[in-house]
Structure formats: C-alpha cells, structure tokens
Amino acid sequence: MRKRLMLLALALVVVSMFAACSPTPPPATDNAAPEPAPTEPAPPAAGSGLAPGLYDIEGGQAQAIGELRWIDLEGGFWAVVDTTAVGDGNNIAVIANGAEITEMLEPLEGMHVSVIGERFEGASIRMAGPEITAESVEEFSPGGGPAQ
C-alpha cells in the first residue's frame, strides 16, 4: 500500500510539473484587435511574377509556368521546364496534347510561357513529369523569386 501511495504522489508531482511548464494563453481583453478575416489567394495569372512551377487553379485546372522546350526523348514531346534548376532543367509539365497544337507551340519554343489546362490523369508512355492537356499557351514574364 505504501508503494502505491508513493507512486501516486510521484505521478501527481510529475503531472503538476508539466502543467506548470505549459504555456498559458494571454488574458482576454475587451480592446483586443479583431483577427483579420482569412482571404483566399488569387489564382496565378500571366504577368503575376510567379516562379516556374505547376500550380492548381480554379475549376480543377492547372497552370504550368516555365520555358517551353521540345524534348527529343521517348519520341519527342513538348514540355514546360524550369531553367533555373541545376543541370539541363527540371520538367515542370509535359504537354500531353502537344502534337495536336504544335503550330501554336513552335513559335514560343525557348520562351517563358504560361500553359493553362487540365492535369492529364490517363496512362502515358512519357515518364518525364506530370502532364497537362493545354487549353491556352501564352508568353509569360518570369518572376524573380519563389512563388507568392
């Protein structure tokens, strides 16, 4: 019985030590400033200064920002790449329907672009990165830093 009382007392001391060390919230005051309402970030848009990358935007669409290149691998394909990455670049997104819109893509080769479309969810033989079915491709002014 004595051992049980000693263990119980020790447990109470340990619990009270943890309770004493835990941070306490500041007291509430009547003149405290209200917390700002949360705001949703605006979707990426051309000229917004976003860094190269693949961004999800409204309506289940995605936006790929980077340099448009023809990649002569696995039969060849169009891709948006991050030329700021180490090495030859990092594939941001493969344009799944590139063969269908080659006329639109060829004049933009080597330029920074914004590609908007839906993420391709089907099976593909290309293993070069995520794929996007392009709906629009525009020249894009690259940002100078990380995505906002």
d(CA 81, CA 88): 9
Q: Is the pLDDT of residue 148 over 50?
A: no
Q: Does some domain include residue 26?
A: no
Going by C-alpha positions, the residue among 108, 51, 98 that lies closest to residue 78 is: 98
Is the pTM above the cut of 0.75?
Answer: no
Q: Does some domain include residue 108?
A: yes
Q: With contact defined as beta carbons under 8 Å apart, do 104 and 68 qualify?
A: no
Instruction: Note the pLDDT of residue 50.
Output: 78
Q: Does some domain include residue 37?
A: no
**Whole-number percent of the chain with pLDDT over 70:** 57
Write the CATH number for 102.
2.40.50
What confidence tier does 25 reach under pLDDT thresholds 50, 70, 90? low
Q: How many domains does the chain have?
A: 1
Residues whose CB is less than 8 angstroms from the CB of residue 113 and which lie 6 or more positions away in sequence, other chains included: 65, 66, 67, 68, 80, 137, 138, 139, 140
Domain region containing 107 = 53-139
Q: Does some domain include residue 86?
A: yes
Q: Does some domain include residue 17?
A: no
What confidence tier does 10 reach under pLDDT thresholds 50, 70, 90? low
Q: Does some domain include residue 122?
A: yes
Q: Is the pLDDT of residue 87 over 80?
A: no
Q: Does some domain include residue 47?
A: no
Q: Does some domain include residue 135?
A: yes
Listed ranges 6-15, 17-26, 94-103; the one with the highest mean pLDDT: 94-103
Q: What is the pLDDT of residues 124-145, one digit of tens each?
A: 655 667 889 999 999 987 655 4
Q: What is the pLDDT of residues 33-63, one digit of tens each?
A: 555 444 333 444 444 567 888 898 988 899 9
d(CA 36, CA 79): 41
d(CA 40, CA 126): 35
